[in-house]
Structure 1
Amino acid sequence: MRLVLGPMEGVLDHLMRHLLTEINDYDLCVTEFVRVVDQLLPDHVFYRLCPELEQGSQTPSGVPVHIQLLGQEPHWMAENAFRVAELGARGIDLNFGCPAKMVNQSKGGAALLQHPELIYQVVKSVRDAVPSSVPVSAKIRLGWDDPEDCFAIVDAIQTAGANELTVHARTKNGGYKASEIKWEYISKIREQFDIPLIANGEIWNFADGQRCIETTGVDNLMVCRGAFNIPNLGNMVKYNHGAMLWPDVVDLLLHYSTFEIKGDKGLYYPNRVKQWFSYLRQAYPEAAALFRDIRTFNKAAPIVEHIERYRDNLQKAS
């Protein structure tokens, strides 16, 4: 099995990639998207979203990182992809799946699923602009509202020369509802096309991963949201490990506080750790109580001090 840690806008930044690839055997990471409109972006934009460019486009533990671009203008997507490749990106991923309303209103992300010809133009422009040694991949949903649209979309992407395709097995209108997952469409895509596939959507544990592989015939998987619910989800899916125990999650929260952050660390850590708690609460009942204790703190130091006391009390009680 090949396992990819997928992108999550505003959540899965380089520090979280660092943390999660330290404790899981991921094969690849994809960054949050870089929004491309009508210009060549300055280098600092790419370095900000992907500081790993300065260390061989990989995390400190050696996991390759591909940069994701989102946009609908073929020329400017190609210009920015070429620049990213010059900066040393190990791969470039194109986002045609983001369901966010603000992104879709500006004709980005999943909005392009309604226009396979434009998807073709974007992918081909990028593929033609980037050296053949740099893989170009795409990420899609099954369509805007009709999963049958996926075949025209995949045909456009394959014909344009993409090296790989991640399929989130829901339509845009399907949102993130578990009932809307349609893994069987990935199987149909695999049967009709030659492009290598990565299956994505509703993979929360080892059993889900195995069912997805069995249903789709694809053993390349991507996890996203679940990686925040249970920090060692990667190794759960890949190796059938048990879920990380709550005391170990607490230690991980403290380890996260030690990461070097450019700018205002005092502001960054409280915002990120509170955001992370919103995911942890879904898997660890204890997280809800701890979050209530720290949610009013706006600086890193009191949050870290409180979690340290909490950890010490846990150890005394065990």
Structure 2
Amino acid sequence: MVGWAIAVHGGAGVDPNLPPQRQQEAKQLLTHCLNLGISALRSNASALDVVELVVRQLETDPLFNSGRGSALTANGTVEMEASIMDGTKRRCGAVSGVSTVKNPISLARLVMEKSPHSYLAFSGAEEFARQQGVEVTENEYFITPDNVGMLKLAKEANTILFDYRIPTAGKCAGLESPVKMNGLPISVYAPETVGCVVVDSEGRCAAATSTGGLMNKMSGRIGDSPLIGAGTYACELCGVSCTGEGEAIIRSTLAREVAAVMEYKGYRLQEAVDYVIKHRLDEGFAGLIAVSNKGEVAFGHNCNGMFRGCATQNGFMEVGIWD
């Protein structure tokens, strides 16, 4: 048996001037989620059950960008996406474009376990949700006053707004904004996608990621979070959840790259994380959390800060934002 380990994130790329109260709120939520996961792991819950449990909690709280509190499309609606992966058999499930499902991560798991497919989107995902009897609600449940205000700011600036807290004259990783995505200027980002990775005491790895995407995104845009191998990946060796500039994460297949360099180069977990952050993101910005089947936990990012927390069976626990 190996020792269990868990890591959770709430997005990479953070305004250095983020108010202390907001920092404390984020740390409190991450601590709460870690404690939920720790309690479940001590009760011998599987890695898969724990990542779903933790991400459901993050989707329910409007603090980060997933579930309730999701970023709004240019049309003022939510199009949420999520994915989950069980490393023991590399089973996976994903959804995109859901607008009424309270917990997209649980719908993603149902896609994995109750459908013949790995990925459902938009009306097909909504129809499947109703067939499965998952909890749904009106689109307005997910929309917060803060996000309505952020969308207004984004439209006034005619930009995809990654995070309203970072002024367009700000910096990330030492670069003057505006940063560009696929050649188009955008505000310096701090996307608050959420994710969880777990290795249980049996050495089973799992990963889950959920997001509302980008503020003022085009309707129909799909990011990295529901894409297996990009935003989420788990196998016998490790579990990985990514956050950041989705288009860069997609191009680099960032989550899968961690597993690949472990498998083909023989790297340990933190070595693999450091390698892909340095060599695979090109000009993109991102972060990730990871666990290995040996009970290791790791994270990495190439921008200002990352909302994250981790804990291991030997009593180590850390919640932080900055390096």
**TM, length-normalised to structure 1:** 0.30
Structure showing greater radius of gyration is 1
Structure with more contact order per residue of length (Cα contacts < 8 Å, sep ≥ 6): 2
The structure carrying a bigger strand percent of its residues is 2
